[in-house]
Amino acid sequence: MAGYDITGYKKEWRSGQKGKYQASAEIYMYKKGKKVKKYSTLRVAHKKTIYVDFKAVVKYRYWNGYKYTNKYKTRTSYCHYGKAYAKTYTTNWIPYIVKVYSK
């Protein structure tokens, strides 16, 4: 699902769910010089309650300004009891795979 927001930046939206958890990523593209930069906001949450502990392991893929490359990195986010979601912001590192682990 791609579209344009009111500022003219291109926006992509990716979402998915597995079991009790759901994730969504908003990816914005904007031009800086000749290259196109991307930044993303990733949210991972439990579907029914905010009172859970979980760990989200996110694999990111690198956007070099023209295309996706085969460079990857992994980041772990912890969501502790009482928080609604784990949220991360990245520039040019776009979420590729999310794995959620709970107790």
For 12-27, the pLDDT digits (tens) are: 777 778 778 888 888 8
Q: For residue 2, give Cα distances in angstroms to 8, 27, 59, 71, 73.
A: 13, 10, 22, 24, 25
Structure confidence at residue 70 (pLDDT):
92
Domain ranges of the chain: 2-102
Q: Are 74 and 59 spatial neighbours (Cβ–Cβ below 8 Å)?
A: yes
Single-letter amino acid code for the residue at 78: Y
- Does residue 90 surpass a pLDDT of 60? yes
Print burial letters for 71-81: b (CB count within 10 Å at least 16), e (below 16): eeeeeebebee
Task: Over range 54-62, report the average pLDDT.
Answer: 86
Structure confidence at residue 5 (pLDDT):
39
pTM of the model: 0.70
Structure confidence at residue 72 (pLDDT):
92
- Does residue 39 surpass a pLDDT of 60? yes
